[in-house]
Structure 1
Amino acid sequence: MKKALFLILSALLVLSACGTKEAGEEQSAPEGNQAAETEKNSEKDKNTEEQSVRTPTEEDKKYTELLLARDYDTVIKETVAFDSDSQKDFYNLASALKKHDEMQSKSYVDESTNEKNYTDMISDYKVIIRYIDKAEYIPEEMKTEIEEMKKEAEEKAAQNQEELDKQTQAK
């Protein structure tokens, strides 16, 4: 009996020590996340600096002209291989612009219930934001348009999320 009691107390002591260690690790995790977040932010700053420093290549000029002409499909087809950083950037920009144009004509109303499908709208806005965030280079001729489109997408995603949350709470 004494041995069983001793074993149970020992097991509790070991388990409580492990639990305390895990709690301590969880508390230190946010500091690690802050360091990672700071590093991520400094990386974004570098990317922003690189965007303004990068001299456009002939390839950049070609794809910029195609984007300005709204020929997104051609840009996507020619850049999908990601053979260069330029191709990656223009693929992402063309995809964001194409998705934005598609959203203008897309109906987000469910025909069976006659209610807006906020989930699809939020998802589409987030796709635009992700594509823009992936582009490390934005041509000067399009910088304002792309920044406005991203800002609009962020605002509308937040607004639609609020509406979705209201609907969810009401049900």
Structure 2
Amino acid sequence: MKKVISLILILLLALTACGTQEKEETATPQEKKTEEGTNAAKEEKTNKRELTAEDEQFSKLIVEKNYDEVVKQTVSLKTESQKDFYYIASAFIKNNENQTKTYDPADLTAMKTDYQVIVNYINRVKFVPDEIKAEVEGLKTAAEEKVAEADKQLTK
């Protein structure tokens, strides 16, 4: 019976792998310019978002390093503000976990993965209030340096 189930799982895996190939489309230079302009306008709009009372509340909690409370209040991810602060707080929580962790110097893959998670969280953020911008950018830079350092050690 176990062999039959294993065979069915392998067949399903093979069928889904074959069926998910997508055709890549090449964009003309005009389409690329339009897309870049749209992305730049969208990015500019999100970076210039009005600071709400909710943003101020979450910023204050971040400054106070009360990351767990931010996650608790934003876990529903209902608004853009909640999403942004959820990712910011999660990045800081992950950084605190990484600081207390000991990594095997012979295998830095775990360290690279842990710090890449921080970078990924921060890359998802669309708006960072000015009062915590330097702190968030510092965390991102430090995490990127750790990823690069681990990558360098792994490629030796």
Answer yes or no: same fold by TM over 0.5.
yes
Q: How does 1:112-131 map to 2 (within 5 A)?
A: 115-131=105-121
Give the residue type in structure 1 aligned to 2:129.
Answer: P
C-alpha root-mean-square deviation of aligned residues, in Å?
A: 2.8
After superposition, give the CA deviation of every residue in 1:50-84 in whole Å (9 maximum; x if it has no partner). 35421111111111111111111111111111111
Partner of 2:135 in structure 1?
145
Bigger shift: residues 99-108 or 127-136: 99-108
For 2:102 and 2:59, locate their aligned partners in 1 and report how far apart those are by CA, in whole Å: 30
Cα distance change on mapping 1:159 and 1:31 into 2, 3 Å: farther
For 2:57 and 2:103, locate their aligned partners in 1 and report how far apart those are by CA, in whole Å: 35
TM-score by length of 1: 0.67
SS of the counterpart of 2:151? helix
Quick one: higher RCO (CA 8 Å, sep 6+), 1 or 2? Answer: 2
Cα distance change on mapping 1:42 and 1:74 into 2, 3 Å: farther
- Which has the larger Rg? 1
Gaps of 5+ in 1: 1-28, 110-114, 167-171
For 1:136 and 1:97, locate their aligned partners in 2 and report how far apart those are by CA, in whole Å: 16
TM-score by length of 2: 0.72
Cα distance change on mapping 1:41 and 1:157 into 2, 3 Å: farther
Give the residue type in structure 2 aligned to 1:69.
Answer: E
Partner of 2:145 in structure 1?
155
Q: Is the contact between residue 47 and residue 126 of structure 2 (CA under 8 Å) also seen in structure 1?
A: no
Greater fraction helix: 1
Give the residue type in structure 2 aligned to 1:90.
Answer: F
Q: Is the contact between residue 125 and residue 153 of structure 1 (CA under 8 Å) also seen in structure 2?
A: yes
Match of 1:69 among 61, 64, 68: 64
